[in-house]
Amino acid sequence: MRCLLLLLALPLCAERINVPLRDPARPALVKVSTVNGSIKIKAHTGKDVIVDLDDSPPRTQPAPNGMKQILSGGGGVNVEEENNVVTIKSPHGNNSYLVLVPETSSVHIRSVNAKELRVEGVEGEINADTVNGSILIVDAAGPVVAHSLNGRLTANMKQVPSGKPMSFSTMNGQIDLTLPATAKADLRINNQRGETFSDFDVQVATSVKRTESGRDKGPKYKLDLEHTVTAQINGGGPEISMRSMNGRIYIRKAQ
């Protein structure tokens, strides 16, 4: 039996939630957040946003002293739509989602302990952020901002949006970016404890950002010097910033 509640707190017996947009002719903004679950966003040719919940049973643990464990099920989900903005979140932050969105949608996704945040075929803006987990972006056409504190970032761009900067950053992880062979871009690379590799023939330069405070007044003087490598692909274009503290950076040319 399916639960028929929509735009309220939904129990996990709901297999699929169909969310109509207020104005299907305009691009949607889809926001998805969870704490201990994965998120997969996939573009489709339909006009609605469709949410599939992971309704697998919770993990069991050995019970003490011969007792039996009573499974409590999932924590539910909240879905809201207002003026083409769809917000999907769990009251307890433990859900995994598959969300189908119109191709022109923009997506903002957040997680703390996600195994993976994945976005496929989306042509709008992508903003992805996680603390402990990887981010995978496939066939993107819009600007991307992706950050993982402890995880790998992999992105495949089918085009580089003109005039719109992008950013990929991780503290402890690898960045692997694939661009079209004809892409034009200005790269800003800050890789403190790892190597950087590229399939492209690039013109490389090094710049130093100097930040000072407290020289004229205050009890403490502070100076920060940040070394950044800049490089142009195919004569240059919109800026792509790539930053890793502990990990390699790969810039690949699509075959």
**161-216: pLDDT as tens digits:** 999 999 999 999 999 999 999 999 999 999 888 899 999 998 888 777 777 887 77
pLDDT at 5: 36
Structure tokens belonging to residue 221: 């003087």
Three-class secondary structure of residue 153 per DSSP: strand
CA distance 176 to 19: 34
Which range has the worst mean pLDDT, 52-66, 88-102, 185-199, 237-251?
A: 52-66
- Residue 229 CA to residue 174 CA, distance in Å, equals 17
- pLDDT for 53 equals 80
pLDDT at 13: 44
Q: How far apart are CA 196 and CA 189, in angstroms?
A: 8
Per-residue pLDDT band at 55 (split at 50, 70, 90): low
- Burial environment of residue 240 by CB neighbours within 10 A (0 to 12, 13 to 18, 19 or more): buried
HEC sequence for 69-96: CCCCCCCCEEEEEECCEEEEECCCCCCC
Tokens of 143: 């600007």
- d(C-alpha 113, C-alpha 155), whole Å: 20
C-alpha atoms less than 13 angstroms from C-alpha of 4 in its C-beta half-sphere: 1
**What are the angstrom distances between the C-alpha of 101 and each of 13, 19, 47?**
22, 10, 8
User: Which amino acid is residue 61, in one-letter code?
Assistant: Q
Measured between alpha carbons, how far is 7 from 117 in angstroms, rounded to an integer?
23
Note the pLDDT of residue 199: 95
pLDDT in tens, 20-40: 999 999 999 999 998 888 899
66-96: pLDDT as tens digits: 788 776 655 678 999 999 999 999 877 677 8
Residue 75, pLDDT score: 60
Residue 65 backbone phi and psi in degrees, to 5 = 55, 40
How many other C-beta atoms are found inside a 10 Å radius of the C-beta of residue 165? 15
Phi–psi pair at 66, nearest 5 degrees: 75, 10
Residue with tokens 């490089």: 231
Q: Which domains occur in the chain, in start order?
A: 13-64+74-200+239-253 (2.160.20)
The bridge status of strand 29-34 relative to strand 106-111 is parallel
Q: How many CA atoms lie within 13 A of 160 on its CB side?
A: 24
Torsion, Cα 146 147 151 155, to 10 degrees, reads 20
